Amino acid sequence: MTFIHIPKMGLKLISLGQLIMAFVVLTLSLSPTPSESCNIFEGSWVYDISYPPFYDASIQCPFIDSGLNCLKNARPDKMYLHYRWQPTSCNISRFDGKKFLERHRGKKVMFVGDSLSNSQWQSLGCMLHAAVPNANYTFTSRARISTIFFPEYGVSVMYMKDGFLVSLVNGTLMLDTLSGSESWKGIDVLVFNSYHWWLHTGRFKTWNAYQVGNQTIKDIDVMEAYKIALTTWANWADSNIDPTKTRVFFQGISAVHYHGADWNEPGVQDCRGQTKPVEGSNYPGTKPPGDEVMRSVLGKMKRPAILLDIVLLTQLRKDGHTSIYSGGEMDCSHWCLPGVPDTWNQLMYTILMQNSSFP
């Protein structure tokens, strides 16, 4: 039997929704927690109406880009807001923004990468702001770095736009030269990402050659170039990161949904009109080609980064994209907020909080 303590300051009415939420939290707290034997990235999406979004984009978050605010852009269905990630062998705790801020008091968290990193950064900013809605915050943007700062806790949540991680100079990708590594020093939690920019073609492609040392290369396979660039980053991390002071994550590859055949619906062109995830814990389509490259590079690091292995959980969420509710072009690459990126932060939070030696 569970008792809910009501302070002596007076009676407090508790709604049915609050009681349901309390039951869900209690149930999760009594269930097996993540451990080394549980892969929190293997699982399925469970529809749970009692599991509300981490924030209300319309009133609780000033950080969301308008193109990611699907509700504001008139998305009519709401089911996508109530799917929670359920690992196969354990449960994960619901994100506690206040606990995150307390744990990281005086520290800096930086996301480095492309627009998917930007989405995860916006998501974390929203999750923290919703947890302490009355706390002051500042937002600054200088050069490539944007910062959300919570002065009461001394916590900075930063985003640095850097989709390649290596330098791009006059249309040439310098595969052995990092573009912003000086800004990465002194950060307590680093979350890197690089992949989708490497696949750009046509008007979106910003390079026409690669360079390693003094040698310019034009006919190298893009995945080989990607591997060289990631190895450059990995070597920097091995040489410059003190794992007792800084925790390094690498955001896995976020799935796109432009071909229905990938999820056994060959007659479907893209993610338009999708309202439910792929059922179960297996995705019919193949993993992106960069996934194997990424795992290979990370696996050879002397001081391994933690892979936020979001490939499967994003592959299953064909319903979670901004789709025609981006305020612009149809988009099956980016995600609605609130939405899937919130789970990325929940999983990162789980990893950070379960080990007391982490920063």
Six token digits for residue 48:
């749970």
Nearest to 110 by CA among 156, 149, 76, 79: 156
Report which residue type is found at 357: S
SS3 label, residue 215: strand
For this structure, is 259 an active site residue?
no
Active site residue 321: no
CB 308 within 8 A of CB 347: yes
Beta bridge partners of 251: 308
Q: Please state, in angstroms and rounded to a whole number, the distance separating the CA atoms of residues 156 and 24.
A: 31
In the set 262, 309, 331, 342, the catalytic residue is: 331
- One-letter amino acid of 227: K
**CA gap 123, 201 in Å, rounded:** 28
Q: Where does residue 118 rank: exposed (0-12), middle (13-18), buried (19+ CB within 10 A)?
A: buried
115 part of the active site: yes
Select which of 162, 321, 334, 342 is catalytic. 334
* DSSP states of 259-296: -GGGGT-TT--SSTT--SPPSSS--SSPPPHHHHHHHH
Name residue, tokens 């990193």.
Answer: 117
277-291 burial, b at 16+ Cβ within 10 Å, e below that, comes to bbeeeebeeeebebb
Which member of 44, 104, 114, 115 is catalytic?
A: 115
Q: Which helix (H) or strand (E) holds 321?
A: strand 321-323
Q: Catalytic amino acids?
A: 115, 331, 334
